[in-house]
A and B are shown apart, each in its own frame.
Chain A
Amino acid sequence: MTETDETRAKRQDFENSLDESDRSVASFERSHGGFMDRAQHFLHGNPTMVPVIVLVLSLIVFGFIANNFFSAFNLSLIMQQVSIIGMLAAAQSLVIITAGIDLSVAAIMVLSSVVAGKLAVSMGVPSVIALPVSFLLGAACGWLNGVLVTLVKLPPFITTLGTWNVFYALILWLSGAQSIRGADIDASAPFLKFFGISIPIGGAQITLGSLLMILIFIVLWVMLNKTAWGRHVYAVGDDKEAAELAGIKTDKVLRSVYILAGLICAIAGWASIGRVGSISPQSFYEGNLQSITAVVIGGISLFGGRGSILGALFGALIVGVFQSGLRLAGVDVLWQVFATGWLIILAVAIDQWIRKVSA
């Protein structure tokens, strides 16, 4: 006390007020510095954390309110139920990261499965030939989308709205709008149902289809994050003109994305035969919208260039968890639809909020 009085006395007058002034070095202004602000910055740096947090929270909540929800069997069942839409969401994510959208994913998938079934079951072609043919077909469908987007310069929404209808008509024509029965597949081409095989682990039933979905996501994550191609895909989605100026052959990248998406859909088509048990031209009619739902809930920006592909996996799982949880809690189906709708809106609202950080 007395010491400070002495030092103060030695100072000049204006120096006496220095203690009360701001001594920090020049820095950016932190507007609030509260919890929300820090959360916003954290999520901006780690966009995949949003779906992860939602997934964990919903698992906990449904674990409390729904009977049987937390059994190993039910959790593995959710994996099975989301596996096909999950694969479509993987393909969809690729296209959405390039700031596009693909409404034809489910149609490509069903078309490929119908072709594989026609060849293998109705015409007796060996599965090892029929399946690669169906993969080629899926890739060709994707290539068509890519060419229309890059060479004819049509917006992806219009392009794939058109090809969705075209592919759908082909499905009906080829299949005669008739399902190929499970018993017929078992008799002549059981390999088509390969991904329906399940491995019991404890009480869980892990199907090869579920594992395939996870494998597809891992492979795509590596491709997007560890290769030059992956950087180019993000660059094209973020700002196509800038990417072009930086020397990226943007049209070529876009075409490769659509072809890869088509191929993944065709592989999903094979997996869907195992999941559904028959080849049904009428299944997955809204698969395209469900895949977009998973991608959006997974925090991948519809404006392109942002978001991790793993988000789509979590997005698909969140939808599956909500549907299973609400179902087991005895909630009517229409409220499941209601909840999914709000999830989409919430996810995009959070995405917009996070984007404001950089603005």
Chain B
Amino acid sequence: MRSQLKIALCASVAVLSAGGVAQAQDMVGACLITKTDTNPFFAKMKEGATEAAAENNIELSTYAGKIDGDVETQVAAIETCIASGASGILITPSDSRALAPAIEQARNNDLLVIALDTPFEPADTADATFATDNFRAGELIGQWAAATMGDEAENAKIAFLDLNPSQVSVDYLRNQGFMQGFGIEVNDETRIGDEDDPRIVGHDVTDGNEDGGRQAMENLLQQDPGINLVYTINEPAAAGAYEALNAVGLTDQATIVSIDGGCPGVQNVQDGVIGATSMQFPLDMASQGIEAIRAYADDGSLPENTEGLDFFDTGVTLVTDSPVQGIDSITSEEALEQCWG
């Protein structure tokens, strides 16, 4: 008697829950593959993707490489994702060229592939790119630096603190964007270091962290102690550069500009360590990416690019407490509410 009742109850629960699922959208799978999980930027991305996945009835799996440039782990993640039968992949490629075969395999299996933050080369390797306009991000701090220096921009001595020797797209886009914004004539736009403007003191690499930033800045100061403007690939590198300047008492001589919009970086703008930084919005990249996968799973529709660009621009904003005329910016106070990490 009792066991019969149990069976009846179980059966009714099963029927009810089955009906519930049938009414909502089908559950589909999606993967988020980031360069690393060390950078809070990717943590924010994961946050955005997780929130959007819950809203859109998507089962999200996340993967990350060990370090920036770790291609093997990302290839394995793509393969796992294809095998799991997911509908789409959001990926920040560790190498914008090397991952192409794995991406092609995913697209042949009818997965929607969206590059987040870092575009592939060529960009149409993926179905779409949701990214910060890194060139624009560089251009903004370049313009700000030129406007802040005024006539002195003619006599600038500029140190470039780049990412690593591989010349990945985010690296050269930011670097060349800065040059364009500052008014340095760029040659090959995909090549760092082929310019011959005498205001360039030199380039060195930082691996995007504090230790590398300090070492690179020390090296460039050895080449020219008169450096008065420092471009940095990101804010940890900027913090390292500041330490190097501080150690030799040259913090007043040089202005540091950077890109990212991480919370420690924005605080460093507030403290006067960084003059200006370009803020990007990883949360939006991932949440909009998840929405695009939902739309693709529902009716096969593909995301469209922002007009005039070969990717979907998720926006960039200049953060500085010394605004200049003609360049829109927000203060560090306002930025602290939107920063990531």
Contact = CB atoms under 8 A, between A and B. Distances in A.
B222 to A, nearest CB: 6
Interface string B214-237: 110011001100000000000010
Contacts of B263: 178
Interface string A319-355: 0000010011010111001000000000000000000
B242 A172 contact: no
A278 B210 contact: yes
B309 to A, nearest CB: 30
B242 A280 contact: no
Given A183-B268, A324-B219, A280 B236 contact: yes
B40 A277 contact: no
Given A275-B214, A278-B210, A283-B209, A177 B222 contact: no
B222 A74 contact: yes
B165 A176 contact: no
A327 B240 contact: no
Interface string B163-190: 0010000000000000000000000000
Contact of B38 (A80, A281, A284, A324): A281
Interface in A274-328: 275-278, 280-285, 324, 327-328
A122 interface: no
B273 interface: yes
A333 B211 contact: no
Nearest to A183: B271
A92 interface: no
B40 A181 contact: no
Nearest to B212: A283
Interface in A225-265: none
Contacts of A77: 218, 222
B214 A178 contact: no
Nearest to B341: A178
Contacts of B264: 178-179, 181
B39 interface: yes
A88 to B, nearest CB: 12
Contacts of B242: 182, 277
Interface in A70-106: 74, 77, 80-81, 84
Interface in B23-50: 37-40, 43
B324 interface: no
A276 B213 CA distance: 9
A158 B177 CA distance: 45
Nearest to B218: A77
A189 B70 CA distance: 36
Given A276-B214, A282-B38, A333 B271 contact: no
Contacts of A182: 239, 242-243, 273
Nearest to B262: A178
A68 interface: yes
Contacts, number: 100
Given A205-B247, A277-B214, A327-B204, A177 B165 contact: no
Contact of B273 (A172, A183, A283): A183
B204 A333 contact: yes
A58 interface: no
Contacts of A324: 219, 222
B209 A282 contact: yes
A198 interface: yes
Contact of B211 (A178, A183, A276, A334): A276
A343 B240 CA distance: 28
B262 to A, nearest CB: 8
B133 to A, nearest CB: 25
Contacts of A283: 209-212
Contacts of B219: 324, 327-328
Nearest to A277: B243
B208 interface: yes
B327 interface: no
B214 A282 contact: no
A192 B208 CA distance: 23
B165 A333 contact: yes
A277 B218 contact: no
Interface in B247-296: 247-248, 263-264, 267-268, 271, 273
Interface string A169-207: 000100011110111000000000000101000000100
Given A172-B37, A179-B264, A277 B273 contact: no
Given A179-B236, A181-B264, A183-B268, A328 B222 contact: yes
Contacts of A282: 38-39, 208-210, 236
Contacts of B209: 280, 282-283, 285
A177 B236 contact: no
B57 interface: no
B98 interface: no
Contacts of B268: 181, 183
B67 interface: yes
Q: Which of B222, B239, B267 has the most CB of A within 10 A?
A: B222
Contacts of B273: 182-183
Contacts of B43: 176-177
Contact of A284 (B165, B193, B211): B211
B205 interface: yes
A334 B165 CA distance: 6
Given A81-B215, A285-B67, A277 B222 contact: no
Interface of B: 37-40, 43, 67, 165, 193, 202, 204-205, 207-212, 214-215, 218-219, 222-223, 236, 239-240, 242-243, 246-248, 263-264, 267-268, 271, 273, 341
19 contacts: A68-B223, A77-B222, A80-B218, A84-B211, A172-B38, A177-B40, A178-B264, A181-B239, A181-B268, A277-B210, A277-B240, A278-B240, A280-B236, A282-B38, A282-B39, A282-B210, A282-B236, A284-B211, A285-B209
The 10 A-B residue pairs with the shortest CB-CB distance, nearest first, are A277-B243, A283-B211, A334-B165, A280-B210, A282-B209, A283-B209, A276-B210, A333-B165, A327-B219, A177-B38
